Structure 1
Amino acid sequence: MVDLPRHIRGRPNPSGRMYFSFEKGRGTPAAWPPVPLPFDSQSDEFWRRCRQSQALHAERDGEVWAWFWLGAGGRLHALPQPRGEGGPTAFWAAVDQAEERDRTADGEARRTFDALITLYMAHPAYTNLADLTKRDYDRHLRAIRRDWGDVPVSDLTAVSAQAAIDLRADTPAVARYFRSVLSKLLAFGVPRGFCATNVARTTEKVEHEVEPHVPWTDWAFEAFFEHARPGLHLPVYSALYTGQRSIDVIPMVRPAKGANAVELIARKTGAAVYVPIHSEYREILERTHIDHTALHLREDGEPWTLAAYRTAWQRDFTSVNAKGQPTSASPAKKAAMARLREGGFVFHGLRKNAVNMLLEAGNTEAEVSAIVEMSEQMVRHYSRDVNKRRLAVNGMRKLEEAWIETRKNLFGDGSARH
């Protein structure tokens, strides 16, 4: 049998079931009234309550007992009676609240990471982030709280920060994001007195070469539309003509008849997006019209969810079902999809197609940014190949225009040939 913590006693009832309580000073004149522990001794909660009970404090005034929870910094937090209104459940809930208050107060006094994260997550610097960005931040904030929650922020050194980043070096994208979140958190803490400097800025930047998404080629589109299941088709057209991310494309609402644009709120940025409907896209929408509020439907007429669409996409491209078994796809389909996989054609590449088409049509980076909800800096990143082609075309055009004089300079005017 596992030894019970100090002052914890167990008693069996007539049926053999064990009941536990915290009984300090049992059998002495200074004995405290027993505090029930009505929890399964096999549960984590039971052992958490055992730990908390060691910080209980009771004082007697005549026949009345006053109960407190003693915090790490020596603060006493008043508690209700263990057998009073609400019973043990209310008592232990009050202990949890006291522990949280003490932890927060102690953290604020010592300027810990725990207190900084709590303050940051209540501030518009965090609350105004898009939901998807919050989700990514939360993963790293939880790790920081887990590893350094009780540590004063000012105690963190560049060496310790670098060590935490290096622990994630096997996945450079994760290491880079962790460094970024840590840096933002420390930058938030500097003017609020948690630390004097942002030590994350002095750590090494994580070298992470992002694989560029490949824009789809003519043959890739032909292979996809010939062999992919029909239910996957319309979202591809929507991505191509709107330039939006899959998280925004798949749940699109069908535009009202006669609408001039697709309007939505980008899930990544939280920004309102207004994409005028291209004439060919309008024709596609009219030909695929079904009386349903959702735009993208499965073959059975039910709306796609993002998870289901991605699963179906993966199954079609790999010819392997969710159980890892080969599908009954024809040899021609398997070959076509294998070629698409090897070519690196993914759904997000359609976004690059959209950017390229807009740029090649002469749109400015600001105009493209407004349509596809992408920063102008990222548009420039996506447009490098387009700009190279544009420079090459302009260069050759200028050579053609100056060819007569250029030819004379190279070969002479031909008068000396005979």
Structure 2
Amino acid sequence: MRINLRGLNRTKKTLADGTVKIFWYAWKGGPPLSGQPGEPEFIASYNAAVARKVITPAGVLLSILQGFQASSDWDDLADRTRRDYVKLIKVIEKDFGDMPLSALADQRARGEFMEWRDKRAKSSRRQADYGWQVLARILSWAQGRGLIARNPCEKGGRLYRGTRADNVWTDDDEASFLARAPAHLHLPLLIGLWTGQRQGDILALTWMQYDGAHIRLRQSKTGRRVVIKVGAPLKAALDPVRQKEGQILLNSDGAAWTPDGFRSSWRKACAASGVVGVTFNDLRGTAVTRLALSGCEVPEIATITGHSMRDVNAILDAHYLHRDQRLGDSAITKLENRTKSPN
């Protein structure tokens, strides 16, 4: 049976691998829908959006939250980022959805939002900061379009002060993982270490993006295009399983990974391999570190990983290299050589 859902709106976005994905909204300017047309999940999310539209008063924060999710700014976000944002937007909607937009211009609004962040920080400071960041971004979007006069969440600072300074994969970590983890997880590790790319972009890689010498991709988060020469160890792992098309990375059933499925399998493999204190995301910083320790200059590293040169410097300065003993040993060796050389 065919059901006609009135007012549906759709947008198209080209993903990093070149495929085109369609995103559906309840109406133009309305909230995004879950699932695909014809599926029960899709119809349920449409009905929920319509019901909420009927009872939503004008001039409240909820209208800004919905407007942002129907904007081009929202479409430009990576899939994983959108999913994370949706979870936080639901929390914001529950706590502040009925707040009048006129109240945002009041000086006390900032204090109210900070109290909300402090309350969330009792469970997780990192999540409290992320919620603040999402709210600040949405309000900035609204301010830029003249929907509100002031963004009370601008420049709110951070509560979470954690660092991943010591969270770099060591050679022993790599060896232990390759020795004990399932074989279908070896290739993701090597690609992470030899390309320095994000998990989402690595999982999305297709064989069409590998020509036998280079991997080419457009980063989903930044839109940057990077071309990476494939190092010998990675090439030795890729070439024996190379195909003409399809995803490069597959699960144990020979199917493309889902993000949740990969994260779950990766955690279990690390635990079974005795690899603790590091995550898949740490492979990106590890790649930067190893490139620097190999004598690569900042522009060279940035070209490979897609970071800005400022971000590469920040990673090397604030998070990784000042903890690596090899740099200290190298510095003393250089000083010894200088001392021995004639004036």
Q: Is the TM-score greater than 0.5?
A: yes
Counterpart selection for 2:207 from 240, 250, 254: 254
Partner of 1:309: 262
Query: Could you give the per-residue CA deviations for residues 264-304 of structure 1, whole angstroms, max 9, x where no partner exists?
Result: 34344444332222233223222344676332345565544
Matches within 5 A, 1:251-290: 251-254=204-207, 258-289=211-242
Instruction: Note the C-alpha offset of 1:195.
Output: 4.0
Partner of 2:195: 242
Instruction: Note the C-alpha offset of 1:232.
Output: 1.7
Matches within 5 A, 1:2-401: 100=53, 103=56, 107=58, 111-156=59-104, 157-169=109-121, 170-201=123-154, 203=156, 205-212=158-165, 214-254=167-207, 258-289=211-242, 293-298=246-251, 301-319=254-272, 337-338=273-274, 340-341=275-276, 344-384=277-317, 385-386=320-321, 390=327, 393-394=330-331, 396-398=333-335, 400-401=337-338
Give secondary structure in 1 for the equivalent of 2:120.
Answer: coil
Instruction: Note the C-alpha offset of 1:175.
Output: 0.8
* Alpha-carbon distance in 1 for matches of 2:171, 2:321: 16
Instruction: Note the C-alpha offset of 1:143.
Output: 2.4
Query: Could you give the per-residue CA deviations for residues 114-141 of structure 1, whole angstroms, max 9, x where no partner exists?
Result: 2223333343333323332222233233
Tell me if structure 2 keeps the 8 A contact 1:131–1:268: no
Paired residue type of 1:133: T
Matched-pair identity in % = 24
Query: Could you give the per-residue CA deviations for residues 22-63 of structure 1, whole angstroms, max 9, x where no partner exists?
Result: xxxxxxxxxxxxxxxxxxxxxxxxxxxxxxxxxxxxxxxxxx
Tell me if structure 1 keeps the 8 A contact 2:212–2:239: no
Instruction: Note the C-alpha offset of 1:220.
Output: 2.0
Tell me if structure 2 keeps the 8 A contact 1:114–1:149: yes
Distance 1:304 1:158, change over 3 A: closer
* Alpha-carbon distance in 2 for matches of 1:99, 1:382: 44
Distance 1:271 1:153, change over 3 A: same
Instruction: Note the C-alpha offset of 1:171.
Output: 0.7
**Which shows bigger deviation, 203-212 or 144-153?**
203-212
Instruction: Note the C-alpha offset of 1:161.
Output: 0.9
Query: Could you give the per-residue CA deviations for residues 195-225 of structure 1, whole angstroms, max 9, x where no partner exists?
Result: 4432223756323313346222222222222
Tell me if structure 2 keeps the 8 A contact 1:232–1:309: no
Tell me if structure 2 keeps the 8 A contact 1:262–1:275: yes
Higher Cα radius of gyration: 1
Query: Could you give the per-residue CA deviations for residues 247-267 of structure 1, whole angstroms, max 9, x where no partner exists?
Result: 222342235785332123434
* Alpha-carbon distance in 1 for matches of 2:127, 2:101: 22
Instruction: Note the C-alpha offset of 1:372.
Output: 1.8
Paired residue type of 1:363: C
Paired residue type of 2:63: A
Instruction: Note the C-alpha offset of 1:164.
Output: 1.1
TM-score (norm 2): 0.69
Instruction: Note the C-alpha offset of 1:172.
Output: 0.9
* Alpha-carbon distance in 2 for matches of 1:204, 1:308: 34
Tell me if structure 1 keeps the 8 A contact 2:201–2:219: yes
Distance 1:98 1:255, change over 3 A: closer
Partner of 1:10: none
**How many residue pairs get matched?**
288
Paired residue type of 2:118: D
Distance 1:401 1:222, change over 3 A: same
Distance 1:168 1:398, change over 3 A: same
**Which shows bigger deviation, 179-188 or 251-260?**
251-260
* Alpha-carbon distance in 1 for matches of 2:103, 2:116: 14
Give secondary structure in 2 for the equivalent of 1:168.
Answer: helix
Instruction: Note the C-alpha offset of 1:193.
Output: 4.6
Give secondary structure in 1 for the equivalent of 2:132.
Answer: helix
> Relative CO higher for 1 or 2, CA cutoff 8 Å, sep ≥ 6?
2
Task: Please tell me the root mean square deviation across aligned C-alpha atoms, in Å.
Answer: 3.5
* Alpha-carbon distance in 2 for matches of 1:112, 1:259: 55
Give unpaired runs (5+ residues) of structure 1: 1-92, 320-336, 407-418
Instruction: Note the C-alpha offset of 1:376.
Output: 3.5
Give unpaired runs (5+ residues) of structure 2: 1-45
Instruction: Note the C-alpha offset of 1:155.
Output: 1.1
* Alpha-carbon distance in 2 for matches of 1:99, 1:303: 36
Instruction: Note the C-alpha offset of 1:402.
Output: 4.0
Tell me if structure 2 keeps the 8 A contact 1:365–1:376: yes
TM-score (norm 1): 0.58
Instruction: Note the C-alpha offset of 1:168.
Output: 0.9
Paired residue type of 2:304: I
* Alpha-carbon distance in 1 for matches of 2:209, 2:138: 44
Runs of 4 or more, structure 1, over 6 Å off, are: 96-99
